[in-house]
Amino acid sequence: MLVRGLSGDSAAYHAFLKALGAHLRAYFRRRLSRLPDEVEDLVQEALLAVHNQRHTYDPDQPLTAWVHAIARYKLVDLLRRRARGDAQTDSLDDADEVFAASDAEASEARRDLAKLLQALPDRQRLPILHVKIEGLSVLETSRLTGLSVSAVKIGVHRGLKALAAMIRSTR
């Protein structure tokens, strides 16, 4: 599904991300049993990371290894930021565990990405709003905003990266 998603099949990509979100939720929930409030935020952060870094997936590579490395990186990043010496000794190294369980029940995230989106500059916010939320084509968005087609594409791309950076700095 990811591979089809990478070649522009957005229905397959949607199904992939949805299933992945459920797996990530189960994975993080098990490892953040002391920090249950962080789980949904981290799921969203990891999904955004998977999306932003999807160009680093090599189709010859096992998907589980790629996803697990991203999930683990985001988890370690979170724990490092929170590190106050509350012993996190659980092993994080079981490669296939991201897909071992699934938890489709999406609870509310504490951090509201919609609010963070509002803080982006217009050249990034408007392309994301029109293309990614309203579902307009790049061409329509270009006409609507007066930005060039490539500026719209770049705005979406950079905007999502900026969103990920904002998430990191709001922790």
Partner 1 sequence: MRTDDLVTMLSTGAADVEPSAARRRFATAIGWGALGASLLMAILLGVRDDLAQAAGLPMFWMKFGFVAGLAAASVVAALRLSQPGVALGGAPLGLAAPLLAMWALAGAVLLAAEPADRAGLIFGQTWATCPLNITVLSVPTWATAMWAMRGLAPTRLRLAGGVAGLLAGAVAAVVYTLHCPEMAAPFLATWYVLGILIPAVVGALLGPRLLRW
Q: Applying CB under 8 A, does 65 fall inside the site for partner 1? A: yes
DSSP states along 27-47: HHHHHTTT-TTHHHHHHHHHH
Residues 91-150 within binding reach of partner 1 (CB under 8 A): 106, 108-109, 112-114, 117, 128, 131-133, 135-138
> Measuring CA to CA, which residue among 132, 134, 131 is closest to residue 142?
131
Q: Which is nearer to partner 1, 34 or 110 (CB)?
A: 110
Minimum CB separation of residue 21 from partner 1 in Å reads 5
Residues in the interface with partner 1 (CB under 8 A) total 59
> Measuring CA to CA, which residue among 16, 12, 14, 38 is closest to residue 27?
38
Distance CA 147, CA 140 (A): 10
Q: Applying CB under 8 A, does 70 fall inside the site for partner 1? A: yes
* Residue entry with tokens 């996803």: 67
Over the window 82 to 101, marking each residue x when it contacts partner 1 by CB under 8 A and - when it does not, the resulting string is --------------------
> Binder to partner 1 among 30, 125, 153, 158 (CB under 8 A)?
153
- The CA-atom distances, in angstroms, between 160 and each of 45, 52, 126, 129 are 11, 7, 12, 11
33 and 14 in contact (C-beta within 8 Å)? no
Binding site for partner 1 (CB under 8 A): 5-8, 10-11, 13-14, 17-18, 21, 25, 40, 43-44, 47-49, 51-59, 61-62, 64-70, 72-73, 77, 106, 108-109, 112-114, 117, 128, 131-133, 135-138, 153, 156, 160, 164, 168
